[in-house]
Amino acid sequence: MPDSSVGQFRVPIEFASHPAGPFRRIQALVDTGATYTWLPGELLEDLGMTPDEERVFVLADGRERSYGIGWTHVRVAGRKAQPTIVVFGESGSEALLGAFTLEGFGLAADPLNRRLIPVPGLLKSA
């Protein structure tokens, strides 16, 4: 599916309930404005996952809504699987790759070239 919006792009990600898999591969829209990665809940439930807790999120239109969250293992950009928080999204919704996951992998969005790029971590004292 081609991307029509400037700066928006999708990348393949893989996720599993355990570090050894099995992994499921999907395309996710890179969304640096989203705190966490959002996956359709039915895909997570197919892997036997259930939410660990509920959290309140502010939607793009300003409304607040509660969603289940949990930990899963994700592979991005050919990197080794790492644990990350995911939101159990609405059925049939588009997967979003959020900032928490990107930062955990040391990656940032390059919207001009529609790709993920490695970035160094920051360690600064006050």
Report residue 60's pLDDT band, with 50, 70 and 90 as the boundaries: confident
Whole-angstrom Cα Rg for the chain: 15
Those residues with Cβ within 8 angstroms of residue 125's Cβ, 6 or more apart along the chain or in another chain:
none
The SS3 assignment for 104 reads: helix
pLDDT at 8: 87
Q: Write out the H or E segment, with its range, that includes residue 108.
A: strand 107-110
The structural domains of the chain, with segments of one domain joined by +, span 15-112
Query: 15-112 maps to which CATH number?
Result: 2.40.70.10
Give percent of the chain with pLDDT exceeding 70: 94
Phi, psi of 116 (to 5 degrees): -95, 140
Give the pLDDT confidence of 2-59 residue by residue, as tens digits: 444 556 899 999 999 999 999 999 999 999 999 999 999 999 999 999 999 999 999 8
Q: Quick one: tokens of 92?
A: 């049939």
